[in-house]
Amino acid sequence: MSTPSPASRQASTATARPASATAGPEAAARRHGDGAREAWAALLLTVAAVVYNDWLLEFVLPTGLDPRHSYVSELYAADQRFRLLFGSIELAAAALVIGGALLARGPAPGRWSAAGWWSLVAFGVSSVADVVVPMRCAPSVERGCEAVNPWHTTTSALVHAALFASMALLVVAAHTARPPMPLVRRCGPWVLAAALGTALATVGPLFGRPGWHGVPQRAHLVLVGVWFVLLAAALRSRRGGLLP
Q: How far apart (Å, rounded) are the C-alpha atoms in residues 40 and 185?
A: 22
Predicted confidence at residue 208, as pLDDT, reads 81
- Residue 236 contacts residue 228 (beta carbons within 8 Å): no
Rg over CA atoms, the chain? 24
- Triad 195, 200, 203: Cα angle to 5°: 135
Largest CA distance in the chain: 97
Predicted confidence at residue 147, as pLDDT, reads 82
Predicted confidence at residue 135, as pLDDT, reads 94
Positive or negative torsion for Cα 126, 127, 130, 132: negative
Residue type, 187: C
- Triad 111, 124, 240: Cα angle to 5°: 55
Q: How far apart (Å, rounded) are the C-alpha atoms in residues 153 and 145?
A: 14
Q: How many residues does the chain have?
A: 244
- Residue 198 contacts residue 191 (beta carbons within 8 Å): no
SS3 annotation, 65-126: CCCCCCCHHHHHCCCCCCHHHHHHHHHHHHHHHHHHHHHHHCCCCCHHHHHHHHHHHHHHHH
Output the CA–CA distances (angstroms, integers) from residue 163 to 149, 193, 196, in the order listed.
Answer: 21, 12, 10
Q: State the DSSP string of 9-27.
A: HHHHHHHHHHHHHHHHHHH
Closest CA to 161 of 126, 135, 117: 126
- Rounded average pLDDT per 10-residue block, the chain, 244 residues: 52 46 52 76 97 97 96 96 97 98 80 94 98 94 87 95 97 82 92 97 89 96 98 82 38
Q: Residue 216 gets which letter from DSSP?
A: H
Predicted confidence at residue 148, as pLDDT, reads 85
Closest CA to 217 of 190, 191, 236, 197: 197
